[in-house]
A and B are shown apart, each in its own frame.
Chain A
């Protein structure tokens, strides 16, 4: 099984990788070469690996999709509907390649925003300090692959005490079938800065493709970052996303992740509370149907005292879909006075739907307040009865309750146009007779 997987997907990618010329071994090429060395030592995970127990990605082996290099042709009018009204600052990547004509970075409100290659001359040292450093590629084959094929990347540097009031929209569009794209993003929030980033995955393609994304965020002291992630790939696609966040003293990270698409998707969110008094909120909503599988793994690592973390993860599983959640909270020795809570709530709409959830606590210090909970069930009969007694039909009552279940997470998104759009998507998904 293992060899079969590596023979297909992995081997193909390894073969297609072009070794940089030895003469031009800059730090960037060195990073890519190191990552490729790691890819060679790693193998594709199987369901025998604890972290991938419920997510079988062996179908990937039959899809030897090469990395996308060809420059895509896309007009602004084609994707206008994907633009966010509030976001005046926008970076667009098509099949992982930066599309300067579609992007708009003129109104950056003091932030340094652009593609990796355009910023590396002026901010090379800063970027080198973080790029590939947060997202460890030593043990994760997908992060290693992304780093090995690293070419274009969204780079955002928010200078000290700069507050960017409008959201920064990162739009990743897949337009070709049977390719692998490697979206990448690096955000460096300097001390006292404030920003909102929307990471948005959309597609114009109907057939299968692979998205393997890596996001790195470093928040300096008292920085404040709000991160909204929306994954709406088509129902044939594979999506593997990794996001690593490091929080310095008294910084705050707030994230909402919405998963709607992909045949098989996996999102790993790793947040390290590396400074005292750091706070994070990591909410998620997964809405899947048909034969979709959505797997969310989060890891909140409390390293220093006085950290606070909050998490609400919800899954609505329809049809024969399969939702997986693994939420690990670690409280390291000496991380005294940590306050952490986590809730995994799951709604099964049909009797073929399936949920595997594992909220996990690992605590190595005594003076902490940690709680977690998980529920799995269907809609409450009494709630349905109440609505029916008020004259609603059974279907309307069910739809309303399902919508409200998901609405709790969507409500936490601060951008109103995006919120409205997502509400409509959820409503449309629930309006099934």
Chain B
């Protein structure tokens, strides 16, 4: 449209710098040796190595799924480095000991760590490539009995908890990428909220892939005991490389009686350039188990990055009266592809779920909502409401909806609605004649479109998400 818009379209990826930190990288390839190497590097107990090897065994017998609505060249799993840790690696006691270069990286990214953490009141666990570098606010959380640390630390300090819950929501053989993750995961966050504790602050993890040719396989495990509640935030970035990088994480949430877990993600992995070269393959398994009565699991995600986003944060509503929620905004531009959605498995009585999914496609991108609502015969009076709205910007992009609804109980009430729209000429005209520029108008319309989801995000994440969206899409219209 105008020069301003042109500039905005060509907005470079802001987080695309590489930090020059010497890394400890394992040789490329995957075999039993590598798994033993990862395990020994991390000084893991025997049972965890057995867990990994069992997963590897299963992975070998599985084939890559092909049903998804995304296209990518064959991934060579032998050309990925499965372990990459920043050097020098020693036990870190305080923030001051963290490599200053690393801290500058996070400063550039705007991660609220260190002093910033104090201001923002956020406890951050930072995962750099695959290894957790620092966790802030640990002592303060420990006072109320909350354990928040990297999963490799938890393996040593709280092995009984990790052993009890790891792999219970996403079993090792759940799917191809979950099996891969179970075999090679290097780090991730662990969070345990004991009985009756309301977590006093939002917990947060920041993920970053830094080394070219490495994959990131982190594992997150969050457990909320009876009556506990927690809000957890996750942010992701990566530098720009011409090669595609694989990110195959597993997130497991467990909510016991009356517990509540809210999991928010702002995903801004490098999406590849405007020709679709490079970018992250974001193949993630996220699942929450609402195990106890009246428990609640809520997923909120803003997916703006990644060359390919392919994930379905799910809720298994096992406890009676449990609640599952899924709020999502997926934005794709250029040659990005997204196949995302959720699964709501109603098992307990009076279980309720809500799905609100908004997708915005621009350029040559393709975005799909794929969701499953299943009501088991045992789920008396289950209730689901789903809403999927798509917005298309330009006539080269695509938007698809694949809602699977499977009902096995006649007392259930399931509703699904979907619509598709575009930014209308008349809407833009209205803004223009009120003296609001085209780019600002588009931003406002899109924010209005996504409002229901942004409202679910914690304040600062909502601000970041709004900004991200403007950068991503402004100028795509016209």
| Residue of A349, A366, A374 with most chain B CB atoms under a 10 A cut-off | A366
A366 adjacent to B411 (CB under 8 Å):
no
Contact: A364 with B397, CB < 8 Å? yes
Does the CB pair A354–B397 fall under 8 Å? no
Q: Is A133 an interface residue (CB 8 A)?
A: no
Chain A residue at smallest Cβ distance from B383: A377
Assess whether B392 is in contact with A366, with CB atoms less than 8 Å apart: yes
When the two chains form their complex, are residues A356 and B412 in contact, meaning their CB atoms are under 8 A apart?
Answer: no
| B residues less than 8 Å from A354 (CB atoms) | 406-408
A367 touches B401 (CB 8 A): no
Contact B401 A365 (CB under 8 A): no
Known: A350-B410, A375-B414. A360 touches B420 (CB 8 A): no
B395 touches A360 (CB 8 A): no
Residues 331-367 of A, flagged 1 when their CB comes within 8 A of B and 0 if not, give 0011010000000001011111111111111111111
Asked if B398 contacts A363 (CB within 8 A), the reply is yes
The verdict on A376 contacting chain B, using a C-beta distance below 8 Å, is: yes
A359 x B403 contact (CB < 8 A): yes
- Judge whether A366 and B395 touch: CB under 8 Å: yes
A373 CB–B CB distance under 8 Å: yes
A372 touches B396 (CB 8 A): no
> Does B411 contact A351, Cβ atoms closer than 8 Å?
yes
Smallest CB gap from A341: residue in B: B419
Any B CB within 8 A of the CB of A50: yes
Query: Does any Cβ of B come within 8 Å of A13's Cβ?
Result: no
B101 within 8 A of A: no
Q: Which chain B residues border A367 with CB–CB below 8 Å?
A: 395, 422
- For B366-379 the 0/1 string (1 means CB < 8 A from A) is 00000000010100
B395 and A369 within 8 A (CB): no
Q: Which residues of B contact A370 (CB under 8 A)?
A: 418-420
> CB < 8 Å: which of B398, B410, B415 contacts A349?
B410
A368 beta carbon closer than 8 Å to chain B:
yes
Q: Name the contact of B419 in the complex, choosing from A334, A358, A371, A378 (C-beta under 8 A).
A: A371
Which residues of B have CB within 8 Å of A368?
392, 420, 422
A373 and B417 in contact, given A355-B407, A359-B403 (Cβ under 8 angstroms): yes
- Report the Cα distance A361→B368, complex, angstroms: 9
Cross-chain contact A366 with B394 (CB below 8 angstroms): yes
Answer whether residue B105 sits at the interface, using C-beta atoms and an 8 A cutoff: no
Query: Do A375 and B421 touch across chains, with their CB atoms under 8 A apart?
Result: no
Q: Are B416 and A361 in touch, CB under 8 angstroms?
A: no
Tell me the smallest distance from the CB of A375 to a CB of chain B, in Å. Answer: 5
Inter-chain contact A351/B420, CB cutoff 8 Å: no
B336 nearest CB across to chain A (Å): 15
| Minimum CB distance partner of B416 in chain A | A374
Chain A residues within an 8 Å CB radius of B412: 348, 376-377
Residues of A within 8 Å of B411, CB to CB, are 351, 378
Is the CB–CB distance between A360 and B402 below 8 Å?
yes
Contact indicator A351/B414 (Cβ below 8 Å): no
Q: Is the interface of A mostly helix, strand, loop or mixed?
A: strand
Contact string, A38-52, partner B, CB cutoff 8 A, digits 1/0? 000000000000100
Q: Are B393 and A366 in contact (CB under 8 A)?
A: yes
Given A351-B377, A366-B392, CB of A358 within 8 Å of CB of B398: no
Contact, CB under 8 Å: B406 / A356:
yes
Measured in the bound complex, the distance between the Cα atoms of B398 and A431 in whole Å is: 47
Cβ contact of A372, chosen from B408, B409, B414, B418, cutoff 8 A: B418
Nearest chain-A residue to B386 (Cβ)? Answer: A374
Nearest chain A CB to B323 CB, angstrom units: 19
- A370, closest chain B residue (CB): B420
Mask: chain A, 141-169; 1 = CB below 8 Å from B; 0 = not: 00000000000000000000000000000
Take A334-B395, A348-B407 as given contacts and tell me if A371 and B401 are in contact as well, using a CB distance cutoff of 8 Å: no
Query: Contacts of A348 on B, CB cut-off 8 Å?
Result: 407, 409-410, 412
B418 touches A336 (CB 8 A): no
Task: Report Cα–Cα, A359/B416, bound state, in Å.
Answer: 9
Q: Is B193 in the interface zone, CB < 8 Å from A?
A: no
In Å, the complex CA distance between A354 and B403 comes to 17
Asked if B405 is an interface residue, CB under 8 A from chain A, the answer is yes
Residue B427 lies at the interface, judged by CB distance under 8 Å to chain A: no
Note all chain A residues with C-beta closer than 8 A to B419.
370-371
Nearest B-chain residue to A318, judged by Cβ: B410
Q: Which of A350, A356, A363, A375 has the most CB of B within 10 A?
A: A363
Contacts of A356 in B (CB 8 A): 404-407
Enumerate chain A residues within 8 angstroms of B375, measured Cβ to Cβ: 376
A373 to B407, CA, bound (A): 15
Interface residues of B in 167-190 (CB under 8 A from A): none
Interchain nearest-CB distance for B414 vs A (Å): 4
Contact B420 A363 (CB under 8 A): yes
CB B417 to nearest CB in A, in angstroms, measures: 5
Cα(A369)–Cα(B420), bound, Å = 6
Establish whether residues B414 and A377, one from each chain, have CB atoms under 8 Å apart when the complex forms.
Answer: yes
* In the complex, B413 has a CB within 8 A of chain A: yes
* Nearest B residue to A373, CB-CB: B417
Question: In the bound complex, what is the Cα–Cα distance between A314 and B81 (angstroms)?
Answer: 53
Binary A-proximity of B416-459 (CB < 8 A = 1, otherwise 0): 11111110000000000000000000000000000000000000
* CB contact between B398 and one of A364, A374, A376 (< 8 Å): that residue: A364
CA distance A275 to B419 in the complex (A): 24
Whether A377 touches B413, Cβ cut-off 8 Å, given contacts A334-B395, A346-B407, is yes
A352 to B416, CA, bound (A): 22
**Chain B residues with CB under 8 A of A349:** 410
Task: Collect the chain A residues with CB atoms within 8 Å of residue B398's CB.
Answer: 362-364
Query: Which residues of B, 220-265, contact A by the 8 Å Cβ criterion?
Result: none
From A355, A360, A366, B403 is in contact (CB under 8 Å) with A360
Interface residues of B in 121-147 (CB under 8 A from A): none
Report the separation of the CA atoms of residues A345 and B396 in the bound assembly, to the nearest whole angstrom: 33
B265 to chain A, nearest CB (A): 25
Q: How far is the CA of A370 from the CA of B401 in the complex (A)?
A: 11
The residue in B394, B397, B399, B421 that gathers the most chain A C-beta atoms within 10 A of its C-beta is B399
Q: What are 28 of the A-B contact pairs (CB < 8 Å)? A: A336-B395, A348-B407, A351-B377, A351-B411, A354-B407, A354-B408, A355-B405, A355-B407, A357-B405, A358-B402, A360-B401, A361-B390, A361-B420, A362-B398, A364-B398, A366-B392, A366-B393, A366-B395, A368-B392, A372-B401, A372-B416, A373-B417, A374-B403, A374-B414, A374-B416, A376-B414, A377-B412, A377-B413
Beyond the given pairs A360-B400, A363-B420, A373-B417, 20 more chain A to chain B contacts, judged by CB atoms under 8 angstroms and listed by A's residue number, are A50-B67, A333-B396, A346-B407, A351-B377, A354-B406, A354-B407, A354-B408, A355-B405, A356-B407, A357-B405, A360-B403, A361-B399, A366-B422, A368-B392, A368-B422, A369-B420, A371-B417, A375-B414, A375-B416, A376-B414
Point out residues on B near A: beta carbons under 8 Å: 67, 375, 377, 390, 392-422
4 nearest A-B pairs in the assembled complex, by CB-CB distance? A348-B410, A366-B392, A361-B401, A374-B416
